[in-house]
């Protein structure tokens, strides 16, 4: 059951709020339609309910607000607008990524694909889907975690009449199994033939909350549906008699053999046809326009028997169409966010393209630097000119980290988790782990490709292993991982890939000069003998010469870029934790 109480959006400047004090209920086991003209505030109301937009009011899902539900995406299946995802990701890859995000078995993706009829398009890219196929995929994403509640924004948009009947059958089947269904529409006829209850809003305010029978009787125009081979002649006679008797009757010619007569009854139309010897194939009273499949009611069916809710055809199509339920839901697994992150990274080619561009740019730059000369060997292998604040590999690692939060910002199935899935510490740890692994791989590949190309072009003189390679390696790997983490944290805080990349560039351009200026002046004490004192603190010798690596890490932090990067990462992590705690306790 959904209980929406006092939903009010924040006003913008002098404009009134888009949604103003809207309250309604959607009961379990029933389909509820939120009806309104385009711009009436339907989508805004849903976003307020899902806590995706600031405003006032509260919504309870089975007695609990969304931020008090442990796994909101398993409680509420959401479809808002188009399916947001990388255009290059496949349909199956998108669903499998979401399986890892919400913690359901990967086979669930194949089950919902079969239900929505997208099995043949499982390898299709999201950017190539039509509007109707996108709607089907959106429904698959909503059904994926087997939620109790479905919240769908105009789910039939872009679907054909047959596809709409199929969709309504799915919604009806979900409600028949005890679930709650709330969907928006701007078509009163769709609401009348699909829903059990219709909530109408206009200009952001609630104007009606009715059972579908009352809605159809009071909000839709009763009419008589007539089908005759002489429809034109019958229509003219009905209009002539209405003028003679001064009755308000409207006759609408639907097609060659069909009439819709408003303001009359079956008895009056039948008597007119009988008096003039006109053959009638269909004569039925309808409440509003019930659609082409409801028009096939038996002739002369009384008005009270025309059901504006579910039809038998819809029930036959939909009741057996749901995917099987998930009987066992395991608790959160430490590897679940890692699986999700790996599928997110490997599902599109953006990361591969960035890595390839970085390797190519580094290789060309290293050869050019070697030709010019006067570049130290470490910078030569890293393709890091003195004039650049960061090498291409570090910028690439920061870029890969900055795009790590793209999907969670957009996808309602993830945003249903309080709208703060990016704030989850488990997901942050997974992103940092995967970003670090990618950065390390990129660091090794960059040095390897540069060294190999320098050896081919100039021989082995420039590729000799330096004596202090452990400290140099630690500095290089630390720089790469630090840039990747800066991109991840900044993108998670500011919810922008551009902000993540800007944070990476800000370290050498802004933070390093400030740090150098703060440390200017004569040094009274030094850290000489640091590794020796570390060894003395241990009762047993460091294994594998561990004090050397620790000392190398300390020297790396002592460098301007390393120290600035460490300070930046600390500040970003503190900001991330602050926003996490604030979002959980507000």
Mean pLDDT to the nearest integer, 163-192: 91
Confidence of residue 327 (pLDDT cuts 50, 70, 90): very low
Mean pLDDT to the nearest integer, 559-564: 60
State the Cα–Cα distance between residues 501 and 394, nearest whole angstrom: 11
Mean pLDDT to the nearest integer, 510-527: 60
Residue 418: what pLDDT?
A: 40
Residue with the bigger pLDDT between 273 and 303: it is 273
Q: Provide the CA 45 distance to its chain's centre, in angstroms.
A: 18
Mean pLDDT to the nearest integer, 101-113: 85
Residue 406: what pLDDT?
A: 67
Residue 534: what pLDDT?
A: 52
Confidence of residue 501 (pLDDT cuts 50, 70, 90): confident
Residue 210: what pLDDT?
A: 92
For residue 253, give every residue at least 6 positions away whose Cβ sits within 8 Å of its Cβ, in sequence order, or none. Answer: 231, 232, 235, 259
Mean pLDDT to the nearest integer, 289-306: 35
The domains located in the chain, with CATH, are: 2-214 (3.40.50.300), 221-287 (3.30.70.100), 336-585 (no CATH)
Residue 459: what pLDDT?
A: 83
Q: Which of 197-201, 320-324, 395-399 has the lowest mean pLDDT?
A: 320-324
| Backbone conformation region of residue 318, classed left if phi is above 0, alpha if psi is from -120 to 50, else beta | alpha
Bridge partners, residue 224, by sequence: 261, 285
Q: Which SS3 state, helix, strand or coil, does residue 25 take? A: strand
Q: Which SS3 state, helix, strand or coil, does residue 410 take? A: helix
State the Cα–Cα distance between residues 509 and 383, nearest whole angstrom: 18
State the Cα–Cα distance between residues 141 and 113, nearest whole angstrom: 9
């Amino acid at each position: 059951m959904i209980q929406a109480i006092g939903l009010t959006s924040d006003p913008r400047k002098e404009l009134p709020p888009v949604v103003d004090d809207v309250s309604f209920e959607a009961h379990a086991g029933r389909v509820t339609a939120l009806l309104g003209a385009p711009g009436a505030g339907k989508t805004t109301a849903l976003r307020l309910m899902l806590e995706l937009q600031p405003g006032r009011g509260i919504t309870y899902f089975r007695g609990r607000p969304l931020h008090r539900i442990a796994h909101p995406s398993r409680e509420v299946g959401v479809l808002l607008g188009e399916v947001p995802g990388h255009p290059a990701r496949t349909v199956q890859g998108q669903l499998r990524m979401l399986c890892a995000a919400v913690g359901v078995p990967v086979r669930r993706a194949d089950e919902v694909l079969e239900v929505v009829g997208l099995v043949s398009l499982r390898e299709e890219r999201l950017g190539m889907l039509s509007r109707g196929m996108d709607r089907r995929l959106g429904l698959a994403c909503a059904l994926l975690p087997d939620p109790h509640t479905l919240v769908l924004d105009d789910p039939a948009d872009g679907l054909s009449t047959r596809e709409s009947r199929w969709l309504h059958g799915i919604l009806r089947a979900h409600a028949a199994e005890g679930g709650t269904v709330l969907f928006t529409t701007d078509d009163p006829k769709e609401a009348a033939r699909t829903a059990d209850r219709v909530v109408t809003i206009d200009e952001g305010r609630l104007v009606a909350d009715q059972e579908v029978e009352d809605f159809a009787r009071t909000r839709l125009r009763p009419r008589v549906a007539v089908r005759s081979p002489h429809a034109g002649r019958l229509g003219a006679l009905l209009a002539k008699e209405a003028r003679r008797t001064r009755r308000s009757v409207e006759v609408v010619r639907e097609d060659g053999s069909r009439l819709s007569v408003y303001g009359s009854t079956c008895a009056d139309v039948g008597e007119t046809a009988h008096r003039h010897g006109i053959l009638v194939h269909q004569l039925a009273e309808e409440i509003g326009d019930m659609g082409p499949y409801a028009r096939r009611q038996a002739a002369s069916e009384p008005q009270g028997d025309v059901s504006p809710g579910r039809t038998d055809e819809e029930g036959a199509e939909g009741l057996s169409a749901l995917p099987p339920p998930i009987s066992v839901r395991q608790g959160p697994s430490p590897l679940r966010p890692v699986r999700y992150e790996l599928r997110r990274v490997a599902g599109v080619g953006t990361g591969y393209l960035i890595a390839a561009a970085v390797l190519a740019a580094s290789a060309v730059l290293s050869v050019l630097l070697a030709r010019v000369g006067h570049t130290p060997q470490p910078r030569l292998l890293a393709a890091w000119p003195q004039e650049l604040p960061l090498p291409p590999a570090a910028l690439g690692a920061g870029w890969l980290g900055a795009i790590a939060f793209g999907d969670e910002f957009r996808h309602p199935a993830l945003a249903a988790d309080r709208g703060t899935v990016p704030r989850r510490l488990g997901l942050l740890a997974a992103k940092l782990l995967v970003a670090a692994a990618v950065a390390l791989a990129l660091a090794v590949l960059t040095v390897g490709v540069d060294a190999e190309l320098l050896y081919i072009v100039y021989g082995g003189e420039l590729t000799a292993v330096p004596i202090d390679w452990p400290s140099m390696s630690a500095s290089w790997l630390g720089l790469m991982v630090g840039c990747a983490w800066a991109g991840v944290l900044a993108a998670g805080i500011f919810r922008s890939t551009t902000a993540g990349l800007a944070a990476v560039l800000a370290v050498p351009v802004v933070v390093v000069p400030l740090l150098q200026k703060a440390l200017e002046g004569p040094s009274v004490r030094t850290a000489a003998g640091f590794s020796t004192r570390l060894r003395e603190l241990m009762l047993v010798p460091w294994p594998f010469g561990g004090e050397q690596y620790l000392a190398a890490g300390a020297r790396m932090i002592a460098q301007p870029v390393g120290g600035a990067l460490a300070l930046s990462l600390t500040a970003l992590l503190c900001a991330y934790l602050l926003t996490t705690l604030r979002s959980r306790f507000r």
